Amino acid sequence: MNRVLYWFRNDLRLADQPALLQACARADQLLPIYIHDPRQDATTPWGFTRMGAHRRGVLSHALHTLDAELRARGSRLFILHGQAQQLIPQLLQCFGLSTVYVEKIAAPEEIADVEALKASGVAVQAIWQSSLIHPESLPFDISQLPEVFSTFRSRVEKYAVPILAPLAAPRTLPPLPDNFNEDAPSFDVSLDVSPPPEEMRSAFPYFTAACRVDEPGAQAHLAQYLARKLPHTYKATRNALIGIDYSSKWSPFLALGTISARQIMAALRRFEAEHGANEGSYWLWFELLWRDYFRFLHLKHGVRLYRASGLSALPPPTHDAAAFKRWTQGHSGQPFVDAAMRELSATGYLSNRMRQVAASFLIHDLGCDWRAGAAWYESQLIDYDVYSNQGNWLYLAGRGTDPRGGRRFNPHKQAADYDADGRYTALWRDDSPHVRGGMA
């Protein structure tokens, strides 16, 4: 009797789940869990909670949906609160489990958690599954990853690097351990949160049925995006600031793992085969490659990406705590930037253009520590992704691989280019939320 534990992390789906499928193939009995680590509830060095209300809201919903999907297949999801290195050995002992299967995440905390389990004698199978291109499919060893994205992209395209087809979800799952008693374990907890009020101005209204950030919602969102032929206009509209359709809005689903990049790419290729490819649909591939690149940078450089200096030889960054607080509150005095920060706080979402403008302003105009800004985005963004967040902040701060040594965006020029009529700045001109009722 082979009893196995599957530990969900940033992969809250059943389809295209190589790690889960391997666990199912090797298990006679399977216990699926999700662990909410208390580090997410802690106060950061910068004075705010690491996981904000918007992130908690989408996570809670995705977990409840995943539990329902597992129950439909004869299983269920344990949601645990605590540290993996303490909880998992207890579960192994309690249910006679032999092996832990988990998604491999190449960020320091996630690596440390797995290594701590291994050091305590737990058998762990950590399986890479979050990128579009598997690292083993690259035409070079990860140690030879180009330090410039454009070089990486050109080599991927030159060698026509293959993308594996997405895998179907298992129709059934192995049963829970036979000594499992639903009333006995004291581990199970709830992550239910009070929903925020409905924000009418949001560019990603995750509180509506059309934008639920769970696996069924991901498939529905992808299908409607392609059905309306929006890939063809993506490049022309991607820097817009108001509305839902200016960008793909795939990032929240990808961040929680309620859809995979391979599923998206397979659907996009079918779309291009039926409706034709153009610059817009190509640019979506381009963006997915950027997402991969930040993952591969973590595989190559590891913890060095989390130093104050990043990959550079620059001195530690300066920090102005008062200026940082004003920035987070949307009271920096720069109207365009303040509009962005108010949108972020009110909705948990911000366009890519405004993320760059606001981050640049914090680093290069206010003279604040880039790590504080990265932590604020981690707390607030419903599509927070550890790889992309770290990579983008290093890029802007000039402490990553960018040969230009930092990117400063002139907020006045950015406003003139992307908000010439002032509609966006006016939309978020104060802190009064445009709400109606509550969440359904």
| DSSP secondary structure, 51-91, as one string | S-HHHHHHHHHHHHHHHHHHHTTT---EEEES-HHHHHHHH
pLDDT tens by residue, 240-299: 999 999 999 999 999 999 999 999 999 999 999 999 999 999 999 999 999 999 999 999
- What's at 328, amino acid-wise? T
Tokens describing residue 210:
């059309």
Tokens describing residue 371:
């790590």
Give the model's confidence band at 433: pLDDT under 50 very low, under 70 low, under 90 confident, else very high: low
pLDDT tens by residue, 182-235: 544 444 555 655 656 678 889 998 877 667 899 999 999 999 999 999 999 999
Q: How many helices (H) and strands (E) does the chain have?
A: 17, 5
Which H or E element spans position 4?
strand 3-8
Q: Compute the C-alpha angle 251/256/261, nearest 5°.
A: 55
Dihedral angle computed from the Cα positions of residues 305, 60, 262 and 270, in that order, rounded to the nearest 10 degrees? -140
pLDDT tens by residue, 316-353: 999 999 999 999 999 999 999 999 999 999 999 999 99
Cβ neighbours of 436 (radius 10 Å) = 9
Q: What is the pLDDT of residue 85?
A: 95
Backbone angles phi, psi at 205, to 5 degrees: -80, 80
The C-alpha atoms of residue 266 and residue 168 are separated, in whole angstroms, by 13
User: Structure pTM?
Assistant: 0.94
Q: Which domains does the chain have, with CATH numbers?
A: 3-129 (3.40.50.620), 212-304 (1.25.40.80), 307-427 (1.10.579.10)
- What's at 183, amino acid-wise? D
| Res. 437: pLDDT tops 50 | no
SS3 242: coil
- What's at 373, amino acid-wise? G
Q: How far from each other are the two terminal CA atoms of the chain, in whole angstroms? A: 45
Q: What is the pLDDT of residue 348?
A: 94
The C-alpha atoms of residue 6 and residue 151 are separated, in whole angstroms, by 37
Least confident residue range of 79-93, 294-308, 392-406: 392-406
Q: What is the pLDDT of residue 435?
A: 46
Give the model's confidence band at 404: pLDDT under 50 very low, under 70 low, under 90 confident, else very high: confident
Tokens describing residue 376:
């604020």
Give the model's confidence band at 440: pLDDT under 50 very low, under 70 low, under 90 confident, else very high: very low
Tokens describing residue 287:
């963006």
Q: What is the pLDDT of residue 438?
A: 32
What percent of the chain has pLDDT above 90?
Answer: 86
The length of the chain, given as a count of residues: 440
